[in-house]
Structure 1
Amino acid sequence: MEKTEKIFEQRMPDKIDILKKHFPHCFDKDGNFNIEKFNEEIKLNEINLSKESYGLEWLGKNYARVLATDPVRTLLKESEAFNQKEENRNSQNLLIKGDNLEVLKHLVNAYYEKIKMIYIDPPYNTGSDGFVYQDDRKFTVPQLMELAGIDEERAKRILDFVNSKSNSHSAWLTFMYPRLYIARQLLREDGVIFVSIDDNEVAQLKILMDEIFGEENFVIQFVWRSRLGKGGTADQVAQIHEYVLTYAKMKRNISFKRDVKISNGGRERLRQWGQGDSKEDRPSMYYPIPGPNGIEVYPIKPDGTYGRWRVGKEEMKKLISNGLVEFERREDGLFEAYKVIKKGHKTFSAVDSIISGENSSTTAGGSKEVKNLFNGIQCFDYPKPSRIISYLISLIECTDCIYLDFFAGSGTTGEAVMQLNAEDGGNRKYILVQLPEPIDPKKNKTAYDFVKDELGVEEPTIFEICKERLIRAAKKIKSEIDEKIKAKEKEIKELESQLNFGDNEEKIASLEQEIENLKNQDLGFKIFETIPLWKDYLQENDKLTEQTSLFDEGKLTEDDIKSLLITWQVYDGIELTEKPHEIDINGYKTYYIDCNLYLLYKGWKTNHLKALLEKIDTDKNFNPIKIILFGYNFDSKSLREINENIKSYSNKKQIDIDVITRY
């Protein structure tokens, strides 16, 4: 096996990067290729459990893999009234209501490798957080056998397990696997994912993410001090921390923002002083370097004992070759070596693996934030403080990227993004996904009453709290921005009134640009939601024939057609914030966006086809590459006529136009 792997890498050195990108879990933390895992991955409809290798196995893993590739079972619907409000109309931020697995599947084409950072705070599966595995997909035993490539007995066991509403480790892993699997596809090649977790599932999550993202793409397991005091616990050890597991899409492509120190010049001793810094402790750091007059200089301490250098041999060679090592004779006659620090030299401090203090706040701080926004009402239990998410975002150093949170909760990530933009004039965008999880009046009557009575929502859900928080946070940030603008405008007037006005022009121009950036801040968001696929249109017929329609297309409304358009638009790789143009083709309404033309309505006639071809021929701004038809609304004659004429036209004009019929 070892020989095979070596030959594989020698023959295909240019393909290794491709493999690492698409099959990261087939490489270990040292970058070695595991061909057994690769063979397992490429075997169609076959899961071979006979060959054992290091990894994480659980009862629902086959099922989780099926879920990761199972087609979407919903449509996307726009909240038109909300999205057309002045503050939301041109917003690039998104809040999507629905099962996050369904939403991720909808997003995967349009946002493939476009997300710079993902932060999620999934259920911790503590036993008291209410997590139970629930899934509305209803596979039969034969279906699961075929999809997962497993035998009947195992298929039965898996279906019994997934239908049991379990909160076991296996259930939690089955829940997380497909979501993380798709999330990885959304990350840019320089993207990073942060996952908050505690001791209950951190061990399982680490191995799961090693498998999905690849061991070599593990960055760090941050420890977050989530509580300040020990509290009145009866336990022997007070748990005052949580974790943030961090993985990169491709680790070599990322770099975190670090504190920079610019030197005024000087030098520092190259010999390590501390107790225990001896040759015996670090033999590799004890070696001679060329000193004055060809004398070899060793890191010997003043007491005559063998010490060690601060840097290894290779680093020392670089310092010497760059003339950055100086020597000075000591009182005992030996030479001391110093590293020369040039003026303006930058040194970077590493990011601390412990998140605490001003970078984080605590769970209590997160609760206080929400409470302040909601006028003293505690609407959400244990929200993450925006400060810790702001800190993680700030590590990325990207002010015009997309940030995704598909366990949005109360919407902390959205507030953090808006707040950071207001502070540095950035243009970050967020996508939040939240399930319309019902609020239990027995567990949180305050939140239930608030959503029902003050927000006027008949069936209160967590989604409504998330939506309201974003609205209130935006209003608060807008007020802060207005104050900043006033202060900067006042500063400009003062600079303009000074006698040395010419000397202030650069400063004034900078302030004016800052004001412009603040005025253009995106504090709105658009709302979309998942809805059941053709709800109420399914025929009650157990034995559908070729002549039996799956649903009564005559019941379709304008809203249904718009939902179909949005769903197909995203499927075709067009972002949700992009709006199709409505184009009239001789009285027939079509939608055109990014060289895709959608024909969705009934009533298509031959004269419409003629008008379409004329428009393609004469309108330079109209260049459809794909024409997508909603098959149920076209008869066979029209479909054949469109296909034949478009094909003939394409051949004549020597252009490529695909006609795609969907149902």
Structure 2
Amino acid sequence: MEKLRMTSPDLTAANIDKIAELFPNVITETVEGEGEDKVVKRTIDFDALRQELSDHVVEGPQERYQLNWPGKREAAATANKLIDKTLRPVRGRSVDFDTTQNVVIDGDNLDALKLLQESYLGKVKLIYIDPPYNTGGDFIYDDDYVESVEDFERRSGIRDDEGGRLVANAESNGRFHSDWLSMMYPRLKLARNLLREDGVAFISIDDHEVDSLRKICAEIFGEKNFIAQIIWQKVYAPKSTAQWFSEDHDYVLVFARNKMNWRPRALPRTPEMKARYKNPDGDPRGPWKAADMSARNPYKAGVYPVTTPSGRLIPGPPRGTYWRFSEPKFKEMDADNRIWWGKDGDNSPAVKRFLSEVAEGRTPQTLWTYQEVGHTQDAKKTLLKYVPFEHTENVLNSVKPVELLQRILQLGTDPNSDDIVLDFFSGSGTTAHAVLKQNAEDGGKRRFVAVQMHEPLPTPEPDFDSILGIGLTRIDNVAQELREKPMLTDELDLGYRLLKVDSTNLTDVLRTPDATVQSALTGLADSIKPSRTSEDLLFQVLLDWGLELALPISVEHVEGHEVHLVEEGLALIACFEPAITLDLVRAMAQRAAEQPEGGRVVFRDSAFASDDARINVEQIFREIAPSTEVKTI
């Protein structure tokens, strides 16, 4: 019976497998260590790989166009580095835990992205992030996994008793840009893996790092998958204190997973746009607006005289232009009352564009004004409406307006599907707020996955003490407001499942012979930490088996034992009790046999009293549910 891996996926090995499929001749082996510690590892012959990707002889490093910085290799390696962590459910702080499709993760987003690699691989429709801007006064994550937490605290000298793993990035630091890029690079690499083939990423940024961010996104997503660099007018009045220019805008970079598979959805027409369509002649086809019939593109058949209904002869189109249609087509349209000659029938011809016939919605533009999507003051007022701060120093100043996020949701998601929206710098919860509000407005079923580190506030509030707490409070209050609105469907998902990044549920039971004594062997029999619950184990199994973290969960008692059913048993059946009976095994096998694809079943490894008991369990499943995957932890 196979044991579950119970670690984050080995991305380095997975990448080597992908390269091996394309270029098997570049796979080689290296030997690491000596004596008993000697290990043979499969690796890549990079000289051979470079040659495979070149049409000329490669003799050494070649100059090429790219963005480079001190620490880039370490940043790339960090994305692939294994972590020994899991996600533990926090049921008491969740809302509608058993049924909600929304997920909030408490922890470092690099850890979270690694843990999500299998459960959400290729499933996310839209990523939006508002990462910390690199202005010298902000903070960035420090990804040093070599030294211990204690060594890191001594080295950095910035962490208090309540602090998160953050380090200041002052402009005096010689690695001002490098540190920020090294923080962003592995996170974007991991995030790209989660996007669907028709998925898209929107990233807020300012002038300090927009150029560098665009370059690393072009490297990670592919330059051909660049969509747009949107300008958002973030303020409504110039700053008189500016030394040179008042900075009135930020940017939103847009990259698709595959540009050929993604198109922005049309935006709703504004009332002003609809008001341009009128019906002065009472046309039964409804409101229309006049469009110029002349064009600048040369068109041989587009030069001919026309006569107005009033009898005036127009010898041809204006100088240097052409009629848009040939003469036969023009006459056909005129006969169909699709040409407007003016109120008195004496104007140059114009084409009637009927509102009922034009494409639904409007094409998005790259300039977003504050009148359309809000400004920073709007964002701050919204935050204060939903989060009851008692200390002004805790109020965040860099939040984004909900309207801005709703615009992104309108462009990047389909209200008629259950698209997943990921924000791994979720901060005060604006993205989650926007998902709830947009779903309420258009009846959508979008789901959010939000990740935020437990970063402490300058002064603890009565009900929360971190930025994560700000976000949860905001989501709770937005949801409560929506529950009180009339006419909202009961199907609107206003809950979230809170999960916390934590150390693995498994203890380290591996010992060398000289470090093992007879009296300690009994204590090493069970590899599960005594403080972990069966629900903790269940979520680590979900991660290991690549199942979504928002699948519905229920608990049944079968033959006197607690059994977890994920998606009513369709996705997983699990029992983590320390001892099991054959009657329980038969009941679980019968349940698994009812699943269309055989199902999955998992037990606790220490639940088997002996090897004979394990063999009996395997035999029962072979007889009753032969297509079921059975594993242990």
TM-score normalised according to structure 1 size? 0.68
Q: Which residue of 2 aligns with 1:127?
A: 136
The answer on whether the counterparts of 1:588 and 1:603 sit within 8 Å (CA) in structure 2 is: no
| 2:443 is aligned with 1:432 | no
The answer on whether the counterparts of 1:93 and 1:429 sit within 8 Å (CA) in structure 2 is: yes
| 2:576 is aligned with 1:600 | yes
In structure 2, the CA distance between the partners of 1:658 and 1:166, relative to structure 1 (3 Å rule), is: farther
2:469 maps to which of 448, 461, 464: 464
Q: Which residue of 2 aligns with 1:504?
A: none
Aligned partner of residue 445 in structure 2, secondary structure: coil
Which amino acid in 1 is paired with 2:631? I
In structure 2, the CA distance between the partners of 1:52 and 1:590, relative to structure 1 (3 Å rule), is: farther
Question: For 1:636 and 1:308, how far apart are their aligned partners in 2?
Answer: 90
Question: For 2:220 and 2:315, how far apart are their aligned partners in 1?
Answer: 46
CA offsets, 1:372-420, max 9 Å, x none?
3334644332211212112221223522422221101111111122222
| 2:106 is aligned with 1:97 | yes
CA offsets, 1:146-200, max 9 Å, x none?
xxxxxxxxxxxxxxx9xx9985322222221222222222223332211000111
Shift of 1:211: 1.8
Question: For 1:625 and 1:112, how far apart are their aligned partners in 2?
Answer: 20
Question: For 2:173 and 2:534, how far apart are their aligned partners in 1?
Answer: 36
The answer on whether the counterparts of 2:340 and 2:351 sit within 8 Å (CA) in structure 1 is: no
In structure 2, the CA distance between the partners of 1:350 and 1:327, relative to structure 1 (3 Å rule), is: closer
CA offsets, 1:281-328, max 9 Å, x none?
xxxx334226669xxxx99765xx5x24597xxxx7999699669999
1:416 maps to which of 434, 441, 454: 434
Q: Which residue of 2 aligns with 1:268?
A: 291
Shift of 1:337: 7.9
1:176 maps to which of 174, 184, 202: 184
The answer on whether the counterparts of 2:505 and 2:537 sit within 8 Å (CA) in structure 1 is: no
Q: Which residue of 2 aligns with 1:528?
A: 499
Shift of 1:647: 7.0
Question: For 2:547 and 2:437, how far apart are their aligned partners in 1?
Answer: 28
Shift of 1:229: 2.4
In structure 2, the CA distance between the partners of 1:238 and 1:287, relative to structure 1 (3 Å rule), is: same
Aligned partner of residue 236 in structure 1, secondary structure: coil
The answer on whether the counterparts of 1:646 and 1:657 sit within 8 Å (CA) in structure 2 is: no
Question: For 2:340 and 2:386, how far apart are their aligned partners in 1?
Answer: 63
In structure 2, the CA distance between the partners of 1:182 and 1:551, relative to structure 1 (3 Å rule), is: farther
Question: For 2:173 and 2:560, how far apart are their aligned partners in 1?
Answer: 53
CA offsets, 1:199-238, max 9 Å, x none?
1111111111112222222111111111222224342122
Aligned partner of residue 289 in structure 1, secondary structure: helix
Q: Which residue of 2 aligns with 1:144?
A: none
Shift of 1:127: 1.1
Q: Which residue of 2 aligns with 1:380?
A: 395
| 2:416 is aligned with 1:394 | no
Shift of 1:52: 4.3
The answer on whether the counterparts of 1:373 and 1:469 sit within 8 Å (CA) in structure 2 is: yes
CA offsets, 1:495-538, max 9 Å, x none?
xxxxxxxxxxxxxxxxxxxx2x4444332222111111248x44
Which amino acid in 1 is paired with 2:386? L
CA offsets, 1:260-288, max 9 Å, x none?
5686357633334xxxx7xxxxxxx3342
Question: For 1:465 and 1:73, how far apart are their aligned partners in 2?
Answer: 28
Q: Aligned ranges for residues 218-617 of structure 1 at < 5 Å? A: 218-252=226-260, 253-260=262-269, 264-265=287-288, 268-272=291-295, 285-289=297-301, 302=318, 305=319, 307-309=320-322, 341=353, 344-347=356-359, 349-375=362-388, 377=390, 378=392, 379-382=394-397, 383-396=399-412, 398-399=414-415, 400-439=418-457, 441=458, 448-450=459-461, 454-455=462-463, 460-479=465-484, 481=485, 485=486, 515=487, 517-534=488-505, 537-538=507-508, 553=526, 556-557=529-530, 559-584=532-557, 586-593=559-566, 594-604=570-580, 608-609=584-585, 612-613=588-589
The answer on whether the counterparts of 2:304 and 2:315 sit within 8 Å (CA) in structure 1 is: no
In structure 2, the CA distance between the partners of 1:250 and 1:461, relative to structure 1 (3 Å rule), is: same
Shift of 1:565: 1.2
The answer on whether the counterparts of 1:76 and 1:564 sit within 8 Å (CA) in structure 2 is: no
Q: What 5-or-longer segments of structure 1 have no aligned partner?
A: 1-21, 24-34, 140-160, 278-284, 330-335, 442-447, 486-514
In structure 2, the CA distance between the partners of 1:647 and 1:172, relative to structure 1 (3 Å rule), is: same
Q: Which residue of 2 aligns with 1:13?
A: none
Question: For 2:24 and 2:213, how far apart are their aligned partners in 1?
Answer: 22
CA offsets, 1:238-264, max 9 Å, x none?
212110001122223323223556863
Which amino acid in 1 is paired with 2:419? C
Shift of 1:435: 0.5
Which amino acid in 2 is paired with 1:355? W
Q: State the superposition RMSD in angstroms.
A: 4.3
Shift of 1:581: 4.0
Which amino acid in 2 is paired with 1:656? S
2:217 maps to which of 168, 191, 209: 209
Question: For 1:318 and 1:242, how far apart are their aligned partners in 2?
Answer: 49
Aligned partner of residue 219 in structure 2, secondary structure: helix
Question: For 2:232 and 2:207, how far apart are their aligned partners in 1?
Answer: 12
Q: Which residue of 1 aligns with 2:281?
A: none
Question: For 2:73 and 2:25, how far apart are their aligned partners in 1?
Answer: 12
CA offsets, 1:48-100, max 9 Å, x none?
682444332333333233332333421211112233x6x55533222210111
Question: For 1:598 and 1:213, how far apart are their aligned partners in 2?
Answer: 38
Aligned partner of residue 139 in structure 2, secondary structure: coil
Q: What 5-or-longer segments of structure 2 have no aligned partner?
A: 1-13, 28-42, 51-59, 149-168, 278-286, 306-313, 342-347
2:196 maps to which of 188, 191, 195: 188
1:657 maps to which of 622, 628, 631: 628
Q: Which residue of 2 aligns with 1:150?
A: none
Which amino acid in 1 is paired with 2:602? I
* Number of positions where the alignment pairs a residue of Structure 1 with one of Structure 2: 524
The answer on whether the counterparts of 1:300 and 1:308 sit within 8 Å (CA) in structure 2 is: no
In structure 2, the CA distance between the partners of 1:308 and 1:169, relative to structure 1 (3 Å rule), is: farther
Shift of 1:128: 1.0
Which amino acid in 1 is paired with 2:65? Y
Question: For 1:299 and 1:52, how far apart are their aligned partners in 2?
Answer: 62
Q: Which residue of 2 aligns with 1:58?
A: 69
RCO greater where, 1 or 2, for CA within 8 Å and sep 6 or more?
A: 2
Question: For 2:340 and 2:600, how far apart are their aligned partners in 1?
Answer: 75
Aligned partner of residue 390 in structure 1, secondary structure: helix
Q: Which residue of 2 aligns with 1:73?
A: 84
Shift of 1:120: 0.5
Aligned partner of residue 245 in structure 1, secondary structure: strand
Shift of 1:544: 8.5
The answer on whether the counterparts of 1:365 and 1:385 sit within 8 Å (CA) in structure 2 is: yes
CA offsets, 1:602-650, max 9 Å, x none?
2245565455556656xx4697533334435546615751575157527
Question: For 2:510 and 2:544, how far apart are their aligned partners in 1?
Answer: 29
Shift of 1:658: 2.9
In structure 2, the CA distance between the partners of 1:658 and 1:292, relative to structure 1 (3 Å rule), is: same
In structure 2, the CA distance between the partners of 1:328 and 1:106, relative to structure 1 (3 Å rule), is: closer
Question: For 2:613 and 2:331, how far apart are their aligned partners in 1?
Answer: 73
| 2:151 is aligned with 1:136 | no
Q: Which residue of 1 aligns with 2:161?
A: none
In structure 2, the CA distance between the partners of 1:66 and 1:81, relative to structure 1 (3 Å rule), is: same
Question: For 2:526 and 2:259, how far apart are their aligned partners in 1?
Answer: 49
